[in-house]
Structure 1
């Protein structure tokens, strides 16, 4: 909420006081770049904490914990942006291919698995493809990721398909228009999001150590190190995808049919 200025509004120039409005303007390029960085870091953090667990039962427990975090982000805090970032990690190919882990999750953590299968996946899909109405009530931060990725698209990223383009290539243009229209609705409702955020934060007790874990700067340092974090984003992300593939295959071999548990 801090870097988006949802709560602590400030003069951002051009008569804009909220980051939710700034990110839709040409002058908000740096903010959009920061948001893209945070999306990727959060997604990878979910994956790394899961894939580095030594035992399948530990991975299943970690999955369950992330699922509960996703539930809280969506329902308790109304942070759809954070919810979508966590879900992107949970639904990534490197995680969904872990058959043994998901079997153990459904056996040992039935409630989490049920929530993920019946509620979270459909909610995440509706955010990505714009198939649901933009929620206004009980939302502190709307899902701004699709809009940000669209606005920052250039010639070098045209072949990097977004989630909804991979799932339904025939509806890509319609969904694009929906996300652009969503931007208009978000900027018109900045005041409502601020009120909701203020009410949510009244119930939150901060612990500095825990809060730091969810900072983008912390993720950059722990994922890439001080030097690696300064490398151009596309290059370091490409190399990290290779590392994630190795971690996923080490957790469960490609030939694993999911019957080892």
Structure 2
């Protein structure tokens, strides 16, 4: 039997996969904490969903399927739950069950015991396992098994029916029919010796004429535990170890990070125009948050305190790489799927930004700029303690901007957001705070005045650096504002020149999009993001943090106007004697 090479294994052969199953039926099968199963959700287009019972409640976690461009030696799709991606659904389930990691940081739910399906779905490897209907299910013909094989059928709980002919066998209710080379999942504890015998069987040995095969070594070998033997699970097989031998832990190889995957360049002669189908959004799908609950209030003090500690734990250079990763995903520079390319008619978000059907992407990036700038200003204005605390917050933003500038991380989109926070009127009016910054952190103050402010002015005017070698994500905010009908903050005599330079820079960014993509992937090569810090920099998290789960649904202009008033009140309370806001 040939094993598929595209990473989409036959899930019907897995005892924990129940095929198309409704949410209500899945919850009825989950009896104790730790029980889990995998099903195909009809409402989610057949996507796999992990249903697990934890703390008395049934929880459902959708697994994101990320399609990849076909390439020899690489799977056709990756399966993602929260941040980590796997080449197959079996690898994902095995990793979470074997390691005991929670399926989500927000719920802490741990999947430990698979719930076997009442009747095994018997399908061939050539069929798709994630379908909405069961019309394609075909029954396997009964295969004749010889009792002369090393692993007899009696070892796996099978017994012969006297009424049947020789070679026929039945499967009792206590065991699942074995398909292919998968192990039998027993509902009763099995001795370690019998477990090892069960693992020794293979698909070839079930045939009378097949030659014997060597021992199939499990992917994870655990030592003998004291006390009664636990229930056997094929996800964490246990085999007896030799006396005096040291247990060997074999961990699966880490999955390739999607931002490190090399993009295949299409040949010029093979390219053809593809009519765009719809507007594309690169915002990640809504997953259970590991920092926020389902419902949250705006500016929750506990969340703000946790975020402050989270940012203090990371060096500005590491935070800059986190921001670069999230910005490249939000701008459609990295992680663009083939379906998204077909829908938008171009290869990256930098090309989509200057097209008429890039309206949705432009609005998302402009909202992201505003949310990052407001959050950065809040980091300073929310410090109600000593003056030195606010000065330290200013220094942190300056150091982050230095780590984002060209030649470093090269994330000019993130640099524009951080500089927007530092140049916000509510922040720039704090005279005593800036004076304390120059006194206690002179180098940061000089870098802000002599390097960052002139650089940002040049970028806004269209004369700053844009070389793909020094820049990973170009500065496209002026062009986005122009295309969305916003006025440039410039004198009338200079507005025409600024408009032409902004559009010219946007055209160059679209032309050099492959070079920017390679530059961003090179900077992120080997980077291991922190899950909570990465989530804290996403647009969806910032929106819920600043305006709450209910306020985040309000129109963008209304939300920004209200929060500007909140920042003005905070600024006036911190330094009433400073110049008043206009």
TM-score by length of 2: 0.41
Deviations 1:115-139 (A, max 9, x none): 1111000000001112335333221
Pick from 401, 405, 419: which aligns with 1:87? Answer: 419
Q: For residues 81-120 of structure 1, what are the structure 2 equivalents within 5 Å?
A: 81-120=413-452
Distance 2:566 2:348 in 1: 37
Asked if structure 1 preserves the Cα contact closer than 8 Å seen for 2:330 and 2:365, the reply is: no
> Which 4+ residue blocks in structure 1 deviate beyond 4 angstroms?
none
1:185 matched residue in structure 2: 508
Which residue number corresponds to residue 235 of structure 2? none
Aligned 8 A contact 2:333 2:348 in 1: yes
* Partner in structure 2 of residue 66 of structure 1: 397
Distance 1:98 1:169 in 2: 31
2:550 counterpart (206, 209, 227): 227
> Could you give the per-residue CA deviations for residues 110-159 of structure 1, whole angstroms, max 9, x where no partner exists?
11111111100000000111233533322110011111111111xxx5xx
* Distance apart, 1:235 and its partner CA: 1.1
TM-score under structure 1 length normalisation: 0.90
Matched, 1:123 2:123: no
Q: Which has the higher helix share?
A: 1
Deviation digits for residues 74-101 of structure 1 (CA, Å, limit 9, x no counterpart): 1421101110111011011111110000
CA apart distance, 1:5: 2.2
Report matched runs for 1:234-253 at 5 Å.
Answer: 234-253=557-576
Q: CA deviation at 1:203?
A: 4.8
1:206 is paired with a residue whose SS is coil
* Whole-Å separation in 2 of the counterparts to 1:3 and 1:81: 11
Match of 2:173 in 1: none
**Could you tell me which residue of structure 1 aligns to residue 358 of structure 2?**
28
Looking at structure 1, the residues matched to 473 and 382 of structure 2 have their Cα atoms a distance apart, in angstroms, of 30
User: Which range moved further: 80-89 or 128-137?
Assistant: 128-137
Q: List runs of 5+ in structure 2 lacking aligned partners.
A: 1-327
Higher strand share: 2
1:171 is aligned, of 466, 489, 494, to 494
Deviation larger for 198-207 or 211-220: 198-207
Query: Which sits farther off after the overlay, 129-138 or 64-73?
Result: 129-138
Instruction: Name the Cα RMSD after superposition.
Output: 1.5
TM-superposition CA deviations, 1:159-184 (whole Å, max 9, x none): xx54x42xx44311110111011111
Deviation at 1:3, TM superposition (A): 2.3
Does the 8 Å CA contact 2:468/2:519 hold for their aligned counterparts?
A: no
Q: Distance in 2 between matches of 1:244 and 1:14?
A: 38
8 Å contact kept, 2:331–2:365:
no
- Given that 2:397 and 2:418 are in contact with CA atoms closer than 8 Å, whether structure 1 keeps it comes out as yes
Cα 1:5–1:256 shift into 2, 3 Å: closer
Question: 1: distance between equivalents of 2:423 and 2:527?
Answer: 28
Quote the residue 1:40 is aligned against. 370
Alignment counterpart, residue 471 of structure 2, candidates 114, 120, 139: 139
- In the alignment, structure 1 residue 213 sits paired with structure 2 residue 536: yes
The size of the alignment, in residue pairs, is: 247
| Partner-residue secondary structure (3-state), 1:2 | helix
